[in-house]
Amino acid sequence: MALGIIICIVFLIMAALMMTKKMPTLLALPIMAVLIALIAGMPINSGDENLFKTVIAGGSTKLAGTYIAILIACWLSQIMSHTGVTNTVIKKAAELGGDKPFVVAELMCIVTLVLFTVLMGTGAVVMVGTIVLPILLSVGVPPIVASNIFLCGVSGGYILNPANMSGLINITGITQSDLTMCAVVVAVGEVVFLTTELVVTFKKNGKKYAFAAPVKEEETPDDEPETLHGFRGFMACITPVVIVVLALVFKLDAIVCFFIGILWIIIFTIHGKWSKYMSMITRSCYDGFKDGAPAAILFVGIGMLLAAVTAKVTQTALNPFMTAITPKSAIGFVIFAAILCPLSLYRGPFNIFGLGSGLAASIIGLGTLPVKLVATVFYACTRWPAQAGPTATQVVWTSSFVGYDPVTTTNKIQPANWIFTAITIIIMALLYT
């Protein structure tokens, strides 16, 4: 019991360091992995299970499939940008909405969601945001609401993104089939969440919502790609749909899906001089890998933490404490998660792509709750920080673009996010118990 308490204290200290920005997550996770292994009594370099072999070497490659998928997804993001696919999809949706703010807002959210089922990284956020946000502002959507519309789409897309789904699958051991319904429910719920916010905003602002100040000229990129047309343009624009269908319907591995997506978009966008087009593909790879590097490094740390927490010696140390604090029934776990889900913010204990990887592994290791329930509840919780986490890169950039700080942008929707996350946790319990 004592060792378990000490390990949990290490969790809390590292979480506090991350929340106060005293230590970046990509450094905090490996350090925590090493400390947990040493506290649990794992030998440094002797025996079958040791710090160097199991945690550092084994852990750093444990989630290799996930971070490779992320890098390939970022490569595809750049190709979609350079070929005009992203620009075309957004502009066509805006034309469909006309000058109706509510319709445009809904369409921009849905289009953003669809795009981010395959796009990843800060570069992709900037690429899409510099097109979507000016459109929203130009039809009269208030800046803070516009930022939340865009972020709803980003987080909803990330939930369905095969790379992120691969991360949870590798961390918890559930299958793609097990996760599909969870991802669809949460993504659809994100659109419902946005619609509710829009209805409230329209009712509150009334006719004042009809027009907005013109968008500054510099907010629109000068080197905007051309709009695609015709059959080949349409086929290129459905690239995100193709990838999601391959992942959710045909259950293909995320890496395979993204490579097929790259081949698909090349077939339908290749034109002009061959050497120039190939140069663009190569440049897109370099730029995409640069965008994906922070997430890839983060998954190296998550893998180390996961290896440390799931090691036999650590489970032996943790089990008495985790058994004492973890609810034994599904109902108890749902209440527990619904109350503590704000801890998904700041890469906290309920964020599966942060400290939550260790907590989820510990709870699953007890064997008292269905693995599917634990995994999907943690995955549902990750939507919140993606949409409204003040330190998430997409939130910081989007808030800056509309002229506010991240805390101001997200503060008003945090209570609604808590309620929505709690509802999705209850739905996961109904689906997976």
Give which of 115, 23, 64, 16 is closest to 303, Cα–Cα. 64
Q: How many CB atoms lie within 10 A of CB 218?
A: 7
Residues 6+ apart with CB under 8 A from 302: 29, 63, 167, 171, 353, 354, 357
Range of the structural domain that residue 203 is part of: 2-432
Q: CA–CA distance from 143 to each of 99, 203, 217, 387, 404 (Å)?
A: 17, 17, 16, 16, 9
Helix (H, G, I), strand (E, B) or coil at 10: helix
User: Nearest 5°: CA angle at 52, between 48 and 54?
Assistant: 50
Return the sign of the alpha-carbon dihedral for residues 113, 115, 116, 121: negative
Q: Which two tokens stand for residue 97?
A: 């909405």
Question: What's the structural domain count of the chain?
Answer: 1
Mean pLDDT value across the chain = 85
Q: Confidence band (pLDDT; 50, 70, 90) for 201?
A: confident
Question: Contact 32/11 with Cβ under 8 angstroms?
Answer: yes
Give which of 392, 370, 375 is closest to 158, Cα–Cα. 392
Q: Is the pLDDT of residue 304 over 80?
A: yes
Q: φ and ψ at 149, to 5 degrees?
A: -60, -50
Q: CA–CA distance from 315 to each of 233, 355, 367 (Å)?
A: 53, 16, 12
Give which of 368, 316, 385, 295 is closest to 70, Cα–Cα. 295
Report pLDDT digits (tens) over 140-164. 788 888 999 999 999 999 999 998 8
Mean pLDDT of the 287-303 span: 85
Residue type, 82: H
- The predicted pLDDT at position 311 comes to 86
- The predicted pLDDT at position 333 comes to 92
Mean pLDDT of the 207-230 span: 52
State how far the Cα of 409 lies from the Cα of 129, in Å rounded to an integer. 15
Q: Confidence band (pLDDT; 50, 70, 90) for 197?
A: confident
Question: Contact 63/299 with Cβ under 8 angstroms?
Answer: yes
Q: Confidence band (pLDDT; 50, 70, 90) for 214?
A: very low
Residue with tokens 């108890």: 332
- The predicted pLDDT at position 206 comes to 59
- The predicted pLDDT at position 207 comes to 46
- The predicted pLDDT at position 215 comes to 44
Residues 6+ apart with CB under 8 A from 249: none
Q: Confidence band (pLDDT; 50, 70, 90) for 225?
A: low
- The predicted pLDDT at position 97 comes to 66
